[in-house]
Amino acid sequence: MKPALQFRLSQSLALTPQLQQAIRLLQLSRMELELELNAALESNPLLDMETGDAVEAEEADGADAAEAADAASENAAEAPETDDQPLDLEFERNEHRGTALDEDGMEPQDAEIEDLRDHLLWQLNLTPMSARDRAIAAAIIEAVDDDGYLSEDDESIRDALASLHVVTPDEIEAVRHRVQLFDPVGVASRSLKECLAVQLEVLDPDTPGLTLARALVGEHLEALARQDRARLCQRLHVDEASFETALALIRGLTPKPGGNFASTSAEYVAPDAYARKVGGRWQVTLAPGCQPRLGINEHYASLIAKARREDANYLKGQLQEARWLIKSLKTRAETMLKVATSIVRAQEAFLEFGAEAMRPLVLKDVAEEVGMHESTISRVTTRKYLHTPRGTFEFKYFFSSGVTTVDGGAASATAIQAMIKKLIGEEQPARPLSDQVLATELNRRGINVARRTVAKYREALNIPSSNDRSRLG
């Protein structure tokens, strides 16, 4: 077989470094973008963060973010940019951090959120105990879940203590009863019945309805959950007034002792775009933090012609990367503005009237309007936030599928959820609306929705079923 040359024509998709960079920047959140640009400024001497007189005046005046975004957009419209010019935008580093300083001139830091386990361990350190019991109590506290219940069995706790002490189930139980009296009372219980019983035990013996409440929790909790009041009154030989007193006492207890303690620290977001009504029309502007004002360092750029060959090649490479980054940032800002404008245009009814007026919207709708691929829209809408008069929402919040209506239109899933939430909020506590009743009411309003769909939306809103709401009521 002889070697030979052959020509073959084929097509393949290749991502250039510039395109890869543009895609990566597009999917970064605002915080991640700042970190990315800080790293670029440190590594590339040809990059500069420009300030400008307008920015300094703006910081001195303390204008809010929306006004700053409008000013940046107006400046950009009056002075069109070229590839050789830096973006006429400012990167406000302090907007999402806050600008207030303490007496030492430092930015104040938020205190660390105390979770349930930290709160219990603090009490443990103040409680007189032997070293053995203290170790058992610490193991129990570490095994408590976020709701305040102890879901692990004694064997698991014994294994956790094996390297320190050999303990018995009786010892674990004795220490657990002491932990149950920590604040919040009832923590480290193994069941709802036990949790409520412990809370009742610490009440004043003269509390009205206490004896009956203990009997209901200890022996008739399931029947109480079924709201079988008449039968319970007959079985316990009590009148309705006494029963209501005991029931009110039980309702005042805490079924999840750990519910008031945050398991994670609060997360703060800074808007990427602002939507507001000006002169009867909705306008969208980007936040200044999404439009960093980068430029070329002219000092280092002027050294390229004078430097040695190796240094000149290095500076040329850095100059090219700087130009790519500036162009990618400009593309990112333009794309975000187009997508945000398209979303606001589609969801004007939501901005005017609330969630019940949300229109069905999918990625394809926005992609067709702005002339981009759906994957690009997906990147833009992830971890990007729009500030509106009704609150700050992630771009993805405005997208939802639709359900047909009797007039041939469509209602978004978000709007239907808002309607369900409103109907449940207006129901009578003694007669909660079932999923079928909710579906019938929505059908009466012209929305074709099945009972199972209502159940799915209700669960997505973390709303209990009608039976559970009846028990809670």
Please write the tens of the pLDDT for every residue from 377-397.
988 998 899 999 999 999 988
Locate the domains of the chain by residue range. 17-93+269-381, 116-260, 400-472
The pLDDT score that the predictor gives to residue 101 is: 44
Mean pLDDT calculated for residue range 120-128: 91
**Amino acid identity for residue 159 in this structure:** D
pLDDT: which is higher, 247 or 100: 247
Three-state secondary structure along 99-161?
A: CCCCCCCCCCCCCCCCCHHHHHHHHHHCCCCCHHHHHHHHHHHHHECCCCEECCCHHHHHHHH
The pLDDT score that the predictor gives to residue 315 is: 86
> Taking 90 as the threshold, does the pLDDT of residue 367 lie above it?
yes
> Taking 80 as the threshold, does the pLDDT of residue 85 lie above it?
no
> Taking 60 as the threshold, does the pLDDT of residue 106 lie above it?
no
Distance CA 429, CA 427 (A): 6
Distance CA 180, CA 175 (A): 9
Alpha helices in 221-347 (DSSP H): 221-225, 229-236, 240-251, 298-302, 309-346
State the fold for domain 400-472: Arc Repressor Mutant, subunit A (1.10.10)
Instruction: Tell me the pLDDT band of 69, cut-offs 50, 70 and 90.
Output: very low
The pLDDT score that the predictor gives to residue 414 is: 84
Mean pLDDT calculated for residue range 108-112: 51
Instruction: Tell me the pLDDT band of 15, cut-offs 50, 70 and 90.
Output: low
CA angle 379, 385, 386 (to 5 degrees): 120
- DSSP summary character for residue 391: E
Mean pLDDT calculated for residue range 191-212: 92
* Residue 297, C-beta contacts closer than 8 angstroms, at least 6 positions apart: 45, 46, 47, 48
pLDDT: which is higher, 168 or 77: 168
pLDDT: which is higher, 12 or 306: 306
The pLDDT score that the predictor gives to residue 443 is: 85
Lowest mean pLDDT among 18-27, 33-42, 146-155, 405-414: 405-414
Mean pLDDT for the chain overall: 80
The pLDDT score that the predictor gives to residue 18 is: 73
The pLDDT score that the predictor gives to residue 235 is: 85
> Taking 50 as the threshold, does the pLDDT of residue 424 lie above it?
yes
Which pairing describes strands 273-278 and 385-388: parallel, antiparallel, or unpaired? Answer: parallel
Measured CA distances, 128 to 123, 168, 184 (Å): 10, 21, 19
